[in-house]
Amino acid sequence: MADSKDPRETVLARVRTKLGVRGDEPGRRGFVHSRLRAHPANLIPERAQRPRGELPRLLQTMLEKNGAKTIRVRTLKGISEAIASALRDNNLPSRVRAGDDAIFESLRAEPGVIEVLSGPAQATDIVALSHAFAGAAETGTLFLSSGADNPSTLNFMPENHFVVVLVGDIVGSYEECWTKLRSADGGRMPRTVNLISGPSRTADIEQTIVMGAHGPKTLVVFIAGS
In the chain, CATH 3.40.50.10420 covers: 47-224
Looking at per-residue pLDDT, the higher value among 35 and 139 belongs to 139
Q: Give the C-alpha separation, 178 to 173, whole Å.
A: 9
Q: Is 218 left (phi over 0), alpha (psi -120 to 50) or beta?
A: beta
Q: Minimal CA–CA distance to 148: which of 96, 190, 194?
A: 190
pLDDT tens digits, one per residue of 114-127: 899 999 999 999 99
3-class state of residue 144 by DSSP:
strand
| pLDDT one-digit tens code per residue, 179-225 | 999 888 777 889 999 999 998 766 666 666 666 566 799 999 999 99
CATH code of the domain made up of 47-224 = 3.40.50.10420
Interior/surface letters 112-126, b for 16+ CB within 10 angstroms, e for the rest: eebebeeeebeeebe
